[in-house]
Amino acid sequence: MSPMQDLGPHPDDAEPSSAGPPETPRSLTPLPSDFESDSPLSPQAPVRTFPNRSLVVLLVLGLLVGSLGGGVIGTALFNRSHVSLGKNTPAATTAASAGAATAASPLPQSAIAAIYQQVSPGVVTLQTSAGNPTPRSFSEATGTGIVVDSAGNILTNAHVVSGAQQVRVIFKDGTSTTGTVSGVDNSDDLAIVHVSGSSSELHPLSLGNSDAVQVGDTALAIGTPFGLSESLTAGIISGLNRSATAPNGRALSGMIQTDAAINPGNSGGPLLNAAGAVIGVNESIQSPIQGNVGIGFAVPINTAKGLIPQLEKGIAIQHPWLGISAQSITPGSASSLGLSEQSGVLVVDVVAGGPAEKAGLHASGNPDASDDIITAIDGHAVTTVEQLTAYLDTKKVGDQVTLSITRGGQHITVKVTLGNFQGTP
């Protein structure tokens, strides 16, 4: 049975990628600001990571159908660990595993070395801290950032700076300065940190075109895995149009998959192409061991480019939201569930007070109402949750969409005014 999903738009990858059909959404959790300790001032603070998202959590997230790029996990016992790449564990104890599972890159080593020399000055380490006098506690975390302009703006993941009271920005030459969080978008897991200083001290990276990325392309990642700053790993683009879950429960669609080693601490760092241009912001991994096993994910840089101007100004970013959880219908699931359609998107649940409920959509399994199966949106045929999500990603909050629905064997149309995604309750 196809997984279920929370449907809200995401400004990336509106069309199916050349990598093949979109994957079912995994329990992707941003790497805990990659390296983080948190304790009541105990001698050895435990490493805190984002929890592995189980089926139960996924089903809850599915109720928040805003911009999702995949399906919700249905009935399969599916519990893959996606670890957020944010806050790292102590470098002394984890250094041995930082370079594990590094894949081979199509580029010769000399070319990779040249790219590193050119690009690494524009990659920074972000050290965040927060404390609480009652009860006495203190936490520190380490992530990575990308210098995007000479005005002092640094792009990173939202989960890297989430909850930070202080942000320290450390450059390749060892100099450091205090950073200020200008804007955060938890729904895309992106943030901007601003630093003041001479533009000559900043080395902005070139932002590439993630729409041009193909499976098999060279992929290079620079960051601070396990607290080891300025680390480089190399591999290839191993998949496109993947799905993940943002810290606030919204689905991240169109994610770039790579086998270049990505570990806690890499969060917010650049994923580079063979020309040294940034094609993604490293965000999460899929792993049962909270370390790299060859499957890492990055937010497409084209998504970030569209949001950077707003993040720099601290403008709140809105994401259109349909307010349902949904599941792609296959012939097998149609037969098992006794559905009248062999394809389309089954409305599994409807968020109370959300746009879909206000428009009168029915949740599946309601004994007093027939199932709703979405077959088209604004005249565009829909056979999967991914297609529905991709279309929603092109809309704005307040836009009205027309859903073609099969209900109890009857074909009807329902107009829905899209709301603003609020996050997991």
Bridge-based pairing of strands 372-377 and 380-381 is antiparallel
* Cβ-based burial of 43 (10 A; exposed 0-12, middle 13-18, buried ≥19): exposed
Cα–Cα distance for residue pair 23/242, rounded to 1 Å: 6
In eight-state DSSP terms, residue 72 is B
319, 67 Cβ separation under 8 angstroms: yes
| Choice among 10, 82, 159, 319 that is catalytic | 159
Place of tokens 């992530």: 143
The secondary structure element, H or E, covering residue 61 is helix 55-62
159 is catalytic: yes
82 is catalytic: no
Structural Rg of the chain based on CA atoms: 21
393 is catalytic: no
43, 226 Cβ separation under 8 angstroms: no
Query: Looking at this protein, which amino acid is placed at residue 375?
Result: T
Cα–Cα distance for residue pair 312/15, rounded to 1 Å: 28
Cα–Cα distance for residue pair 66/20, rounded to 1 Å: 23
Buried b (16+ CB within 10 A) or exposed e, 152-179: bbbbbbbbbbbebeebbbbbeeeeeeeb
| Choice among 267, 284, 287, 333 that is catalytic | 267
Cα–Cα distance for residue pair 245/252, rounded to 1 Å: 5
| Choice among 34, 189, 217, 371 that is catalytic | 189
Query: Looking at this protein, which amino acid is placed at residue 79?
Result: N
Query: Looking at this protein, which amino acid is placed at residue 283?
Result: E
Count CB-CB contacts under 10 A for residue 310: 16
Cα–Cα distance for residue pair 94/335, rounded to 1 Å: 49
Asked, as a colleague might, if the bond just before 300 is cis with ω within 30 of 0, I would say no
228, 167 Cβ separation under 8 angstroms: no
Report the SS3 class of residue 148.
Answer: coil
Task: Give the catalytic positions in this structure.
Answer: 159, 189, 267
